[in-house]
Structure 1
Amino acid sequence: MRKHLSKLTSLAASTALALGLSAAVLPASAQDAPVDVTIGWVPPDITGVFKTATNFFELAAKDANQHGFNVQVLTRSPTSPTAFAEQVSIIEDMIQRGVDVIAVSPAEVATVKPALIRAREAGIPVIVVNLLEPIEGVDVSSYIGFDNTQGAEVSAYSVVDYFGGPGVLGAGDKVEVTPETYLDLAFWKDLASKMSDEDKAKIKARGAIIEGVAGGFFSTARLNGFREVLKQFPGIEIVGNTCAGDWNREKGTRCAEDILQANPGNLDFIWAASNEMGLGAMLVAGSQGRLETVEDGATVGDAKVAIFTNDVTPESVDRIAEGKMIAETTHGFADWGWFGTKFAVELACGIEVDKTFDIRPRTVYQVNARNFYPDPKLEAIDWAAIRTNCKKGG
């Protein structure tokens, strides 16, 4: 019955176009028929941050399905974030299935590039989430994400703030903000620009780094951003070699164990480049009685090891609100899923979308944590307008 109705809808639309009529004057039966859209969503993992993104892909689809659409999100991920070839195979399968749109967060950009080219050759629009940097040679319809280098720069400035710089953390000069203030890179750079070299040199701390996949695109970008900021602050020392946690909590835990063992009493912070690894570091430091905590913005007890990280998920927001992690840089995973579905439906409908959608990484800390989860503030989607302008049949 649906196929028959779809054909009638297409015939009515063709007739209307031939007569110069708009979709708004099509018969009610044609206008009311749900439009089928299948989104192939291919994250590199289905836990942590990608579970959050997946949840919001599905929430947006549910919202769309109450307003004239029949959106299905097919989610498949490789067995681990380092199973690069497996992610390519999944994209190839989505092409064979003939999905309407493929949304992908690349485990590694260079690896998935040929598969994305094949998707475009098959006439399937591609949405890339988790980065804004263009993938050379691939006709990507939209990038939803953030600049990974900038995200790590924001985290570095949070460390600077906590150990004496101006801002909203630690004992340095406090800046008046509200919980709604965007503590993004522009905010932090403005504060740093007002500091003298002498003031910058007074900030002292010893820290260690847990990175993602050693040598990978995302890990390298975040490491570069974090280190670039700290060049301005010679009193902040990074000890030992960077430990690769492969974006994984268990491996991040092992890295933290090694770091804490190598630095038994003189380590001030750990920065983990993702929150799965950061949550692992938090658990290790806590189990050893070395976790620095905050209460109402003030450090509780003797100085120990402060945890900083990147990403922001419901779990990590809970830990920040409890004062067990000092600060985290949000990458907008709810936004990925919410707007990923919106853009995918628009592309399936033949509607032009923004080439880039910048999440604008910003600092999440105890005061503003609940702005992000459990109820993130997301812009409502006008599905009725999208449905009216949709050129795709049911």
Structure 2
Amino acid sequence: MMVLLAGCSTEAPGSSDKSEKETGGKKDDSVKIGLSVSTLNNPFFVSLKQGAEDEAKAQGAEIVTVDAQNDSAKQVSDIEDLIQQGVDVLLVNPTDSAAVAVAIESANNANIPVITVDRSAEGGEVVAHIASDNVAGGEMAGKFILEKLGNKGKVVELEGIPGSSAARERGEGFHKAVDAVADVEVVAKQAADFDRAKGLSVMENILQGNKDIQAVFAHNDEMALGALEALQAAGLTDVIVVGFDATDDAVKAVESGNMAATVAQKPAIIGQQGVTTALKVANDETVDEFIPVELELVK
């Protein structure tokens, strides 16, 4: 049988045991990958999951996917279960970048390499991180809003789940752009947890005291679409709404003129790259610590 040769690299944590190393690592059809997703109640992560599962099938690898349902405690429990199932590599999309550290450390102790996708972790040892540059994406959204406003106006920011790297980084990039302009004011910012229903209710609450606004930046499209619904109900149809992720619903809203723009990530490619990287790690190949996925503005 054809044997895959291991790369001459520093061994990743959790590399295969001695007998596997002597034969050059595992074959793809014997690699078992665990994928922990923050939530499957969001089209973005459904696409990420599908991209990972399609690539695993194409490569003849096994993949086990679990849904944390935006519950950091459940995610830790899910990852512990995947460890007990004997996965060879873990792909983790953290619900909370800090809270997930304890689960990653458990994987480290079990010699199972961990790769984070879309969101990073604040603890534990991670072999690679695969994601778009969220800071650059937030800045891209901010600059677009500045251009549309002519560098003057009042803006609302809807933030993602507190503690998630995506919320922190997208907010950082956005403020990097808008805080440098004296005549642009962020009059309100509040977490809506990347959720459409919460985006609607939070936006309704903000509008009670801030009807004089010209733009909204939401850290994801689900919140942007919820905010759009609230704005339309209030008769504020001229407010610029910019989201992040380029989900199907958001792209349709941009095409119809209801949303101004969305920052396009490519979740299926993130999932695909996650599996490709996991197979390299399982076969003792060298991988980059950060594997970027390109962004673009859909407007």
TM score, norm. by length of structure 1: 0.65
Q: CA deviation at 1:360?
A: 4.0
Match of 2:297 in 1: 363
Match of 2:201 in 1: 254
Match of 1:373 in 2: none
Asked if the contact 1:131/1:146 (under 8 Å) is kept, the reply is no
Q: Does 1:94 align with 2:82?
A: yes
* Mapping 1:71-110, distance limit 5 Å: 71-79=61-69, 81=70, 83-110=71-98
Which digits, 9 at most, give the CA deviation of each residue in 1:153-179, with x for residues without a partner? 111111112223xxxxxxxxxxxxxxx
Match of 1:392 in 2: none
Structure 1 unaligned spans of 5+:
1-8, 18-32, 165-202, 292-303, 366-394
Asked if the contact 1:37/1:348 (under 8 Å) is kept, the reply is yes
Asked if the contact 2:241/2:259 (under 8 Å) is kept, the reply is yes
SS of equivalent to 2:216: strand
Q: Does 1:151 align with 2:151?
A: no
Match of 1:343 in 2: 277
* Mapping 1:113-262, distance limit 5 Å: 113-131=101-119, 135-136=122-123, 138-164=124-150, 203-214=151-162, 216-239=164-187, 241-262=188-209
Match of 1:380 in 2: none
Q: Identity over aligned residues, as a percent?
A: 29
Q: CA deviation at 1:135?
A: 4.1
Structure 2 unaligned spans of 5+:
7-26
Which digits, 9 at most, give the CA deviation of each residue in 1:167-213, with x for residues without a partner? xxxxxxxxxxxxxxxxxxxxxxxxxxxxxxxxxxxx21211111123
Q: Which amino acid aligns with 2:217?
A: W
1:281 pairs, out of 207, 220, 227, with 227
Q: CA deviation at 1:329?
A: 1.6
Asked if the contact 1:211/1:245 (under 8 Å) is kept, the reply is yes
SS of equivalent to 2:34: strand
Distance 1:271 1:72 in 2: 39
Q: Which amino acid aligns with 2:169?
A: A
Q: CA deviation at 1:215?
A: 5.5
Relative to structure 1, the CA distance from residue 286 to residue 59 in structure 2 (aligned partners, 3 Å threshold; closer, same or farther) is farther
Larger-gyration structure (1/2): 1
Distance 1:319 1:275 in 2: 10
SS of equivalent to 2:257: coil
For the aligned residue pairs, the C-alpha RMSD in angstroms reads: 2.4
Asked if the contact 2:94/2:119 (under 8 Å) is kept, the reply is no
Distance 2:36 2:217 in 1: 28
TM score, norm. by length of structure 2: 0.84
Which digits, 9 at most, give the CA deviation of each residue in 1:251-297, with x for residues without a partner? 11101112233333x22111111111111112222344423xxxxxx
Match of 2:39 in 1: 45
Relative to structure 1, the CA distance from residue 216 to residue 348 in structure 2 (aligned partners, 3 Å threshold; closer, same or farther) is closer
Which digits, 9 at most, give the CA deviation of each residue in 1:208-263, with x for residues without a partner? 11112346544233323222211221111222x32210111111110111223333
Distance 1:321 1:13 in 2: 50
Q: Which amino acid aligns with 1:116?
A: I
Asked if the contact 1:52/1:313 (under 8 Å) is kept, the reply is no
Distance 1:360 1:75 in 2: 25
Q: Which amino acid aligns with 1:50?
A: F
Relative to structure 1, the CA distance from residue 113 to residue 210 in structure 2 (aligned partners, 3 Å threshold; closer, same or farther) is same
SS of equivalent to 2:91: strand
Relative to structure 1, the CA distance from residue 309 to residue 38 in structure 2 (aligned partners, 3 Å threshold; closer, same or farther) is same
Distance 1:208 1:156 in 2: 11
Bigger shift: residues 277-286 or 243-252:
277-286
Asked if the contact 2:97/2:163 (under 8 Å) is kept, the reply is no
SS of equivalent to 2:100: helix
Task: Tell me which of the two structures has the higher relative contact order, counting C-alpha pairs closer than 8 angstroms and 6 or more residues apart.
Answer: 2
Q: Which amino acid aligns with 2:65?
A: T
Asked if the contact 1:100/1:124 (under 8 Å) is kept, the reply is yes
Relative to structure 1, the CA distance from residue 216 to residue 356 in structure 2 (aligned partners, 3 Å threshold; closer, same or farther) is closer
Q: CA deviation at 1:34?
A: 7.1
Asked if the contact 1:131/1:147 (under 8 Å) is kept, the reply is no
Distance 1:107 1:131 in 2: 8
Asked if the contact 1:313/1:333 (under 8 Å) is kept, the reply is no
Which digits, 9 at most, give the CA deviation of each residue in 1:123-144, with x for residues without a partner? 2121101246x745x3312110
Which digits, 9 at most, give the CA deviation of each residue in 1:28-66, with x for residues without a partner? xxxxx97222221111111221111111112222332xx
Asked if the contact 1:38/1:72 (under 8 Å) is kept, the reply is yes
Distance 1:335 1:246 in 2: 24
> What is the number of equivalent residue pairs in this alignment?
278
Relative to structure 1, the CA distance from residue 36 to residue 321 in structure 2 (aligned partners, 3 Å threshold; closer, same or farther) is farther
Distance 1:128 1:214 in 2: 18
